[in-house]
Amino acid sequence: MNSAVNIIVGPTAVGKTRISLLIAERADVEIVSADSRQIYRYMDIGTAKVEKEIRERIPHHFIDICNPDEYYSAGMFGRQARETIGNILNKGKIPLVVGGSGLYIRALTDGIFELNAMDPKIREQLEERLNEKGLPALYEELKRVDPEYARKISPNDRQRILRSLEVYLVTDKPFSYWHSKQPDPAPFPVRLWGLTSDRKKLYRRINERVDQMIKAGLEDEVRNLLKLGYSPELNALNTVGYKEVIDYFEGRIAREEMIDLIKRNSRRYAKRQLTWFRADSRIQWRTIEDENDLKSLCGEIIRAVESQ
């Protein structure tokens, strides 16, 4: 695999999906989605998935691959995405990776060490302690046994707190020890394109997207997930656009506040995405303000692909 794999990254609502579809209209590409929420079924509106009609015409990978209560990790994505990219190249087609999940991109390009140490009994005990003592108590325990990893994660990150404690109890070594193991880089070169925009314009697009999601039926989508029996405590539902609607349903906030919070939290998420990606010196940044900028970058990426 000597050809560089093109990867498009950037914050939410900046235009990643739009440019991927523009490229797909002019080149024989298959799109590899690097979005940690679009992997889940039944979560379409709140994750801004490409319409099914388009996905039937343009191959998309890693969308709707598991249910909201199924475990899936960045490490699993990294391994499977590399295999998928290899299959696309072997068919003589062009893989185009598109997404805003920084850890998924890192797992694909650089690899991350993922430990398979699991114990259902220990996990069950941790869940019981979580219900009895609350998440802050477990986070304090993590700070005692693995202060290095505890500093890297949010005190509210239920999934990572439970997982890191599980690994410690199973292996008798802190999670940070295992994370220090050297990962394997991708078996192919990569070319990263970063999309950015004027902050005011980006935030306006984010606000407009949230309004569109509400009109498209985001509340009904969340209601359906709950009717299907999925717990509001799931990591998949404890994310922007879903947790706020659940708070509204449970009477903790008013509807207008729900909408405002989705907008605010989406803007904050975009800021975190930019902070993450700007730390990667390999990324070639392009400012996207309108459709002409998208078309210009589309041509640039296609020329880069054709020159290989």
| Phi–psi pair at 230, nearest 5 degrees | -80, 130
User: What's the CATH number of domain 5-112+183-306, 2.60.120.260, 3.40.50.620, 3.40.50.300, 3.40.640.10?
Assistant: 3.40.50.300
Beta pairing, strands 284-287 & 60-61: unpaired
Q: Where are the domains of the chain?
A: 5-112+183-306, 120-179
For the entire predicted model, the pTM comes to 0.83
pLDDT value at position 184? 85
pLDDT value at position 242? 98
Residue type present at position 122: I
pLDDT value at position 2? 63
CA–CA gap between residue 158 and residue 243 (Å, rounded): 14
- For the domain covering 120-179, report its CATH number: 1.10.20.140
From the first residue on, what is the mean pLDDT of each consecutive set of 10 residues in the chain (308 residues)? 87 97 95 98 98 96 96 91 96 96 96 79 93 95 95 90 93 85 87 97 97 98 98 94 98 98 98 96 96 94 84
CA–CA gap between residue 246 and residue 227 (Å, rounded): 12
pLDDT value at position 180? 73
Burial (CB count within 10 angstroms: exposed 0-12, middle 13-18, buried 19+), residue 39:
buried
